[in-house]
Structure 1
């Protein structure tokens, strides 16, 4: 077959096409080897302290993604603020994390770092709960001068509490910030070691919060100015905890309580693979799509954009769901097909024009090899019939013509270019006969 191709098209054209295909295959193989061919099967989630709602979320995400063959490593943190710092630090190996809306505006993180982050959407509300003992407090300003536990530095509760206290003029005015050991909040209140604690589920266990809600002589602060706070802080939401929600028999809480709190965003780096984005949002829909104390069924996940832009992959998911491949095939198979398409299509777009150009380029090369002898032939003919030329000069021209004919006979020409080859040889013979005829007529002899 190779010999037949060589005879029809010439060895050069077959070799040229073979080289183009080999280069394309080589490039494709190199790219595939360097880019982990197949589906991403590993992800790192930064969560929160042990026992917190963020830690529970991360564990559930790990269980859901494991069903699709994706391993999830959980990176503990101090909470929302710490998660944002980890996501913004290129030296930390992390892909996605839970961040409270509005967190980016409180952090000392460069715009270039946060610019490389994107949101997959909001997944839940995170109410701020203020527990205190003693007389009823009507306003946050009433906590001035008291001993307050506002959570670990790096947690969302800490950052939001500082912002709310500052908005009420509480800074350096005798108010003391005391850190109580995790799990010791109730006892610290009962033993008069602190006067109030600010807690959120992202940094405090759910069991401790339920214990505080049921404890006698411990009150949950009712945010009467919730509407004003929501207007001042555009990342906050007004939330309601109806009377008796936690315990109908004991009527806990004893009255409907208004709270405020941000939403939890699923924030990822901008290089997150689209397949993993779909999987995370599927897990979010399974985990957060139902009704709870503060959310309605189907309310989350939602493309609520705050400091971080909604990723294009997330926008496509909210608009039309999972892509066709991931709806039609298992995750691993779909990712494999998508990766193949991503590499094959660009290479085909390059390879097909290159293969179409190969014959034209080869024909141009062959024609150039033949046409250059025409230039030499024209120069010889002009020299041979120049008025000043003598018989010796014509003999030299004939020797050069013999050299041209010998060189042309050694050209390896495929059958497709036979017309050009034989045309050149015929023209060489024509010039030779013309010169011999001119020489014979000049000497008075008749050419046989």
Structure 2
């Protein structure tokens, strides 16, 4: 049967077939690219910046042991193209003050345990202890067994701001001796304190660190009527002051041939911590601990080889990076590559992880998403076709049938204008066949209703 004269003829085929639908491909990639970009953004937010090439260390007085150690640190870090600026200071208290001052630009410093015991220093962390600082006391007169026996005398306890003075004040206070009392506490240290003791100007000299150099100690030990104080209560001091360690000065330490001293002498010693700002780059933390191992790790009179640096922290928390280093050492990259290259690779890996974890698995979804987008343009017409076919199966008037045919024309026109990849041409033609099938059902329905079964034949 010919179509009604009031209805347009079916539209001609204007479909365009292409090798790839770039629009669908782009939209398929879109969610994956967005998720990957989000993952990379999060990684960039978390990634450590490149380590700075310059550090500043607050050491101690020029030509002191820690000043000299800092110069060795400087040479070691220079191997990895890191410049270490070494600043002289008055001692541990001065170093601590600089580290605690935001605008001082000091990144790391040597701080003797005990000087910051009752203060809160936020933003600072320990990289570990690097050495003992034994307290040695020489005195005049008869043997003493308790520090309280020095009450009322003249004592040289170290210069203002030094760790020696802070330690001496803490131990004397535990024995009832405080500033302002009958005991005179002179700010003398090192050779000045030794000379005052030899000349009789002071009754005892408290020496620690650079003040207790072997030549000074040997000279005092040989001075008539000058004795070396033996901390026979060393165990009690170490328990009362957790930052102190009981150590033993071996027999013959000053002179093996003459066996000086002739018996072991007990001493107490705080440790010195390498303290840094908690913003110190992890890679530089590793370099500093390695430098400390090279400088302080050898055997000495009062320590065994490899005893320092050690994860001992008293006044400051041990940093997470230092703890990781002491437990497992340097990472594989820093063990295998030059420092600058390992630092670059370390940061690149942070960017590669989201690409590997998110982007690569997601790429497997692209073909499925692409196929779904292309097929969806075809499948969305099937619902309309089914609705038209169901209406055609029911009793409809000529006007209703005409409306259905017009709706079918719209569908066919839209389908014929689709832009389709060649790989899906078969599904395109199947849809057109189904449109023709529904059209034929509408036509048969028209014939059926136009000529009822019981009507007389011509």
Q: Considering the TM-score relative to the shorter chain, is it more than 0.5?
A: yes
Query: How far did 1:332 drift?
Result: 1.9
The residue that corresponds to 1:97 in the other structure is 109
Matches within 5 A, 1:49-448: 49-84=61-96, 86-87=98-99, 93-102=105-114, 106-109=117-120, 113=122, 117=125, 119-132=126-139, 137-151=144-158, 154-171=161-178, 173-180=181-188, 184-186=192-194, 189=197, 195-201=203-209, 204=210, 210-211=215-216, 214=219, 216=223, 220-242=228-250, 245-246=253-254, 257-304=265-312, 306=314, 308=316, 310-311=318-319, 313-315=321-323, 317-318=325-326, 321-387=329-395, 389-444=396-451
- Residue ranges of structure 2 left out of the alignment (5+ in a row): 1-17, 453-458
Is the 8 Å Cα contact of residues 132 and 195 (structure 1) preserved in structure 2? Answer: yes
Query: How far did 1:141 drift?
Result: 0.9
Query: Per the alignment, in what secondary structure is the counterpart of residue 310 of structure 2?
Result: coil
Query: How far did 1:195 drift?
Result: 4.6
Give me the whole-angstrom Cα distance separating, in 2, the residues matched to 1:64 and 1:234: 32
1:293-318: CA deviation from partner (whole Å, max 9, x where unpaired): 21122322233454555555545544
**CA distance change for structure 1 residues 176 and 364 in 2, over 3 Å: closer, same or farther?**
farther
Is the 8 Å Cα contact of residues 100 and 262 (structure 1) preserved in structure 2? Answer: yes
**CA distance change for structure 1 residues 33 and 347 in 2, over 3 Å: closer, same or farther?**
same
Query: How far did 1:279 drift?
Result: 2.1
Is the 8 Å Cα contact of residues 10 and 413 (structure 1) preserved in structure 2? Answer: no
Query: How far did 1:177 drift?
Result: 3.8
Query: Which protein has the larger Cα radius of gyration, Structure 1 or Structure 2?
Result: 2
Query: Per the alignment, in what secondary structure is the counterpart of residue 376 of structure 1?
Result: helix
Is the 8 Å Cα contact of residues 128 and 273 (structure 2) preserved in structure 1? Answer: yes
Structure-1-length-normalised TM-score: 0.79
Structure-2-length-normalised TM-score: 0.78
Give me the whole-angstrom Cα distance separating, in 2, the residues matched to 1:16 and 1:385: 39
**CA distance change for structure 1 residues 206 and 307 in 2, over 3 Å: closer, same or farther?**
closer
1:63-115: CA deviation from partner (whole Å, max 9, x where unpaired): 111112112233544433454455556665444332334555x23206xx26x
How many pairs align? 431
